[in-house]
Amino acid sequence: MKRRGLFFLQLGFTLFVCAFLIVPMILSIMAGLTVNYFVGIESGLTLRWVMEVWNGYRDTIFLSIGLALACLAATLVLGIPAAYVLAKRQNALTRAIEELLVMPVAVPGLATALALIVTYGSLSGFRTSWAFILVGHVLFTLPFMVRSVLAVLMAIDLKTLEEGAASLGAGFWERFRDIVLPNCRQGILAGSLMVVTLSMGEFNMTWLLHTPFTKTLPVGLADAYASLRLEIGSAYTLVFFIMIVPLLLAMQAFAKPRPAKFVAEETE
């Protein structure tokens, strides 16, 4: 009886925490769908504010999607080989490099953005382009790709697999393509979804790096709340949720470990 009471107490606390986190988001979404937020749902439901966001801010949405995809491509090209080298050569130097890769995550985004401006701010064409924001996003998200792939590579006997392939005549690129990439696929998928999600939602660094012509979705969201009526800002939040929530769900689904039997079958 006591254990049953403890269970319901824990369940009630969990539901309270979930409500504490979810209810504000629901109210924010509803504000973007009501005719007048201050009157409430009695004023009626409408998609007018969503359409105003789309008509006035769709450039920020497309820019965020483009930046996220470009950031993903850059982190794949840089992160997978880096994780491979770190997994292959475990020594003091590679451990130090691994720790340095995490620095952009530990340092506040505003500090990283300021460092980029001080270093490259004199390059006017580069400073005012979306590529400048991309550099910041890559610096911020690269550790997540490297760590995701590295965790998978460290969990398998990579040395034995490569030696077996080499004994059958496989060259370096064949081993990398046919052995390394398939075995770290789970880490690549998890890292990719994390990179895209973080890039689309990154605000602190982007706020300092952006120009009036390179506003991303989070920066536009902040501007909407600061300068427009609440309903439009809330509709902007709804658009952001529609884009980001499926990515978060997919990231959790792909991050789940696969059954050992399935992994063994793939490596045979």
Better-predicted residue by pLDDT, 69 or 255:
69
Query: Whole-angstrom Cα distance, residue 164 to residue 222?
Result: 54
Query: Would you state the pLDDT for residue 267?
Result: 43
Q: pLDDT by residue (tens digit) across 222-232?
A: 877 776 677 78
Tell me which residue range forms the domain holding 66. Answer: 57-267
Query: Would you state the pLDDT for residue 251?
Result: 67
Can you tell me the mean pLDDT for 224-251? 77
pTM of the shown model: 0.78
Triad 162, 167, 170: Cα angle to 5°: 65
In a domain, 217, yes or no: yes
Residue 30 burial by CB count (10 A; 0-12/13-18/19+): exposed, middle or buried? middle
Structural contact between residues 164 and 156, judged by C-beta atoms closer than 8 angstroms: no
In a domain, 224, yes or no: yes
Triad 134, 136, 137: Cα angle to 5°: 65
Q: pLDDT by residue (tens digit) across 4-46?
A: 777 778 888 888 888 888 888 788 778 788 887 777 777 788 8
In a domain, 17, yes or no: no
Q: Give the model's confidence band at 78: pLDDT under 50 very low, under 70 low, under 90 confident, else very high.
A: very high
Query: Would you state the pLDDT for residue 133?
Result: 92
Can you tell me the mean pLDDT for 55-74? 88
Residue 116 has pLDDT above 70, yes or no: yes
In a domain, 78, yes or no: yes
Query: Whole-angstrom Cα distance, residue 135 to residue 131?
Result: 6
Q: Within a 13 Å sphere around the CA of 66, how many CA atoms are in the beta-carbon half?
A: 13
Residue 262 has pLDDT above 60, yes or no: no
Query: Whole-angstrom Cα distance, residue 186 to residue 251?
Result: 11
Work out the percent of the chain whose per-residue pLDDT is above 90.
Answer: 11
In a domain, 203, yes or no: yes
Residue 263 has pLDDT above 60, yes or no: no
DSSP per-residue codes, 182-199: HHTHHHHHHHHHHHHHHH
Query: Would you state the pLDDT for residue 67?
Result: 92
Which of the residue ranges 113-117, 124-128, 192-196, 260-264 would you say has the lowest mean pLDDT?
A: 260-264
Count up the domains in the chain and report the number: 1
Q: Give the model's confidence band at 135: pLDDT under 50 very low, under 70 low, under 90 confident, else very high.
A: very high
In a domain, 107, yes or no: yes
In a domain, 39, yes or no: no
CATH number reported for the structural domain that contains residue 194 in this entry:
1.10.3720.10
In a domain, 122, yes or no: yes
User: Count of CB atoms within 10 A of residue 56's CB?
Assistant: 14
